[in-house]
Homo-oligomer: A and B are copies of this chain.
């Protein structure tokens, strides 16, 4: 029987958390989900995460939170990021960075799963090489887990697809985040790794990637600073469901999820 993982794309603000609240249990049931992973970098008001919002998401049934470049937006979350083992930030931040880049959790059925978070470098922060960081972290995680899931938080499709191929056969899945737009390229690469360029966004779709659309248009047409606010209507949950072979760690299936909330 495969291990079923649900991955939820970037949860944006209160509408994103509502989507999780309304849909998660139904999804867990329908797909017999063993583990729920979600990207939470925008969970708190669209920018960053706080202990309160993370706890809320865990209480709703999420097992592990990944993140990305926005994880540092709330200074008050730093001590929480340091101690919360179920929350990861990209592993290729500098060596001394607070928090952890990967973690291992056990499903209710007792299966260990490694979760690795990486951030791209093209058009983003100046970080350590995600390819080499992946190599190093995967060796470590594989000592304790047959299944390894990678959230690659990156902008450029070229960097994301390249990492997918680079890790094919080494991990169970490489799923991208950050662009907030779901891609239609989910597939299982020849070596057995599930790949998808972007899982998409969980939040308001009456928006520009989560932000009130008038404000985003204003930013582009005026080139002046605009304070972004989270949009509220047309709430959807984006993500992917992965079926993974417990022994080999190979992906058996990958399915794109896009739910319009009731």
Contact = CB atoms under 8 A, between A and B. Distances in A.
A225 B54 CA distance: 20
A94 to B, nearest CB: 6
B165 A184 contact: no
Interface stretch (A37-45, A118-126, A140-148, A242-250): A118-126
A189 to B, nearest CB: 10
Interface in A123-165: 123, 125-129, 131-132, 155-159, 161-163, 165
Interface of A: 72-73, 93-97, 121-123, 125-129, 131-132, 155-159, 161-163, 165-166, 179-185, 197-198, 200, 207-209, 211, 213, 216-217, 219-225, 256, 258
Given A158-B209, A200-B184, A217-B165, A224 B97 contact: yes
A27 to B, nearest CB: 17
Contacts of A166: 217, 221
A102 to B, nearest CB: 18
Contacts of A198: 183
A180 B156 CA distance: 10
B182 A183 contact: yes
Copies in the complex: 4
A225 B123 CA distance: 16
A216 B163 CA distance: 10
B129 A128 contact: yes
A223 B179 contact: no
A121 to B, nearest CB: 4
Contact of A162 (B157, B158, B184, B213): B213
Contact of A123 (B123, B128, B256): B123
A166 B221 CA distance: 10
